[in-house]
Amino acid sequence: MTDGGQRQYGPLGTTLVIIPTYNEAENIKSIVSRVRSAVPEAHVLVADDNSPDGTGKLADELSADDEQVHVLHRKGKEGLGAAYLASFRWGIDNGYGVLVEMDADGSHQPEELPRLLTALKGADLVLGSRWVPGGRVVNWPKYREAISRGGSTYSRILLDVPIRDVTGGFRAFRVETLEGLGLDEVASQGYCFQVDLARRAVQAGYHVVEVPITFIDRELGDSKMSRDIVAEALWRVTAWGVGSRVNKIRRR
């Protein structure tokens, strides 16, 4: 965690849970229902990338039955980063105080969201972490765990960020934190989008807290992880790390 000092934090405001989707028809009803049960006062935004399996239509049906469920229809699959950036702007424009990132596949447990929101009362950004004491993964293939642990360790060391789970995607932001991260400059997608936001938060001096979570591998649908996503993350993290070190040397 970064040092938050003696800063006094204001009230959180209304929470918007953002759930990006692409072909998540098997999961969307369950995950939205669980979010609404876990945090009844929160709103949900399903950001669907024109899923060919009809996820967007199912989300529209949920929205029609519940005024706290909203749908952002996007033209096509443009990557996780683009979906979140569009959703952040939607949330900011509509006056929400907290924006939450959450996967649609059930790997992030909505029942743990209240713990993140409680921690956010004294922080700028809260990360649901698999790699802090109390955090764990369930039913995950060893190669996926190795990629995640290795990616977080590599990013933490190269970027000099005091975060154990740099790549995790279960996060709660105060809106003012997101507004201070320079979202218009974020170009990263996929796996490294989370790394990018985390490093920006640390560099901006925000108070970042990690809360242990249980991450459960999806039971339905297909993972969106690919070699291209991992390769992009490795390339960008390396470029950021090298660039930061070069700049430090030049300032000496």
In this structure, which amino acid lies at residue 45?
L
The band of 148, judged by pLDDT with boundaries at 50, 70 and 90, is confident
**Using one digit for the tens of pLDDT, what is the confidence trace for 78-119?**
889 999 999 999 999 999 999 999 999 999 999 999 999 999
The band of 234, judged by pLDDT with boundaries at 50, 70 and 90, is low
- Whether residue 123 lies inside any domain: the answer is yes
Contact partners, residue 156, CB within 8 Å, separation at least 6: 162, 163, 164, 166
Q: Is the pLDDT of residue 217 over 80?
A: yes
Q: In this predicted model, which residue has the larger pLDDT, 187 or 211? A: 211
Q: Is the pLDDT of residue 221 over 60?
A: no
- Whether residue 8 lies inside any domain: the answer is no
- Whether residue 76 lies inside any domain: the answer is yes
What pLDDT was estimated at residue 2?
46
Give yes or no for a contact between 172 and 38, defined as CB atoms under 8 angstroms apart: no
Question: Average pLDDT, stretch 69-82?
Answer: 93
In sequence order, the β-bridge partners of residue 215 are 137
- Mutual orientation of helices 190-203 and 227-251 as an angle, nearest 10°? 30
Question: Average pLDDT, stretch 204-227?
Answer: 81
Question: Average pLDDT, stretch 150-163?
Answer: 85
- CA distance to 152, 190, 191, per residue, from 231 (Å): 14, 10, 9
- Whether residue 7 lies inside any domain: the answer is no
What pLDDT was estimated at residue 245?
62
Give me the domain span that covers residue 224. Answer: 15-251
Residues 106 and 218: their CA atoms lie apart, in Å, by: 6
The CATH number assigned to the domain holding 201 equals: 3.90.550.10
> What percentage of residues in the chain have a pLDDT greater than 90?
67
Q: In this predicted model, which residue has the larger pLDDT, 131 or 148? A: 131
What pLDDT was estimated at residue 155?
82
Give yes or no for a contact between 170 and 137, defined as CB atoms under 8 angstroms apart: no
What pLDDT was estimated at residue 6?
65
Q: Is the pLDDT of residue 53 over 50?
A: yes
- Whether residue 1 lies inside any domain: the answer is no
- Whether residue 246 lies inside any domain: the answer is yes
Q: DSSP H helical segments within 105-141, as ranges? A: 113-120
In sequence order, the β-bridge partners of residue 46 are 19, 71
Q: Is the pLDDT of residue 3 over 60?
A: no
Per the structure, the count of domains in the chain is 1
Return the half-sphere exposure (C-beta side, CA atoms, 13 A cut-off) of residue 66. Answer: 23
Give yes or no for a contact between 178 and 218, defined as CB atoms under 8 angstroms apart: no
What pLDDT was estimated at residue 197?
94
> What percentage of residues in the chain have a pLDDT greater than 70?
84
Which residues of the chain form beta strands (DSSP E)? Answer: 15-21, 43-48, 69-73, 98-101, 125-129, 136-138, 171-174, 208-212, 214-216
Q: Is the pLDDT of residue 250 over 80?
A: no
Of 102, 115, 125, 88, the C-alpha closest to 202 is 125
Helix, strand, coil share (%) of the chain residues, nearest 5: 45, 15, 40
Question: Average pLDDT, stretch 158-164?
Answer: 89
Residue 16 φ/ψ region, left for φ over 0, alpha for ψ in the -120 to 50 degree band, beta for the rest: beta
- Whether residue 73 lies inside any domain: the answer is yes
Q: In this predicted model, which residue has the larger pLDDT, 100 or 250? A: 100
- Whether residue 26 lies inside any domain: the answer is yes
Q: In this predicted model, which residue has the larger pLDDT, 3 or 70? A: 70
What pLDDT was estimated at residue 4?
46
Residues 83 and 189: their CA atoms lie apart, in Å, by: 9
What pLDDT was estimated at residue 233?
63
Question: Average pLDDT, stretch 163-184?
Answer: 95
pTM: 0.87
